[in-house]
Amino acid sequence: MKMLYFEPGMRFSSKCLFADEMLCSLDGDVKIVDPYCGEKSLTLVRMISAKSVKFLTSEKKLREKEGKIFLGLLQDFKADYPTVEIGSYAGSDLHDRYILSDSHLVMLGSSIKDLGRSESIAIKLHKDISTDIWNSLKERFELRWKTSTVL
What long-range pairs does 141-146 form, CB within 8 A, spacing at least 24? 141/31, 141/33, 141/54, 141/56, 141/100, 144/33, 144/56, 144/87, 144/89, 144/91, 144/94, 145/31, 145/54, 145/56, 145/87, 145/89
In tens, the pLDDT along 1-11 reads 999 999 999 99
* 57-109-104-67 Cα dihedral, nearest 10 degrees: 20
User: Sign of the C-alpha dihedral, residues 150, 88, 32, 76?
Assistant: positive
The range of the structural domain enclosing residue 83 comes to 2-150
Q: Is 107 exposed, middle or buried (0-12, 13-18, 19+ CB in 10 A)?
A: middle
In tens, the pLDDT along 10-59 reads 999 999 999 999 998 898 999 999 999 888 899 999 989 778 999 999 98
Mean pLDDT value of segment 77-96: 93
CATH code, 65: 3.30.870.30
- Assess whether pLDDT exceeds 80 at residue 124: yes
**Number of domains comprising the chain:** 1
Helices (H), 32-130: 39-45, 59-62, 65-80
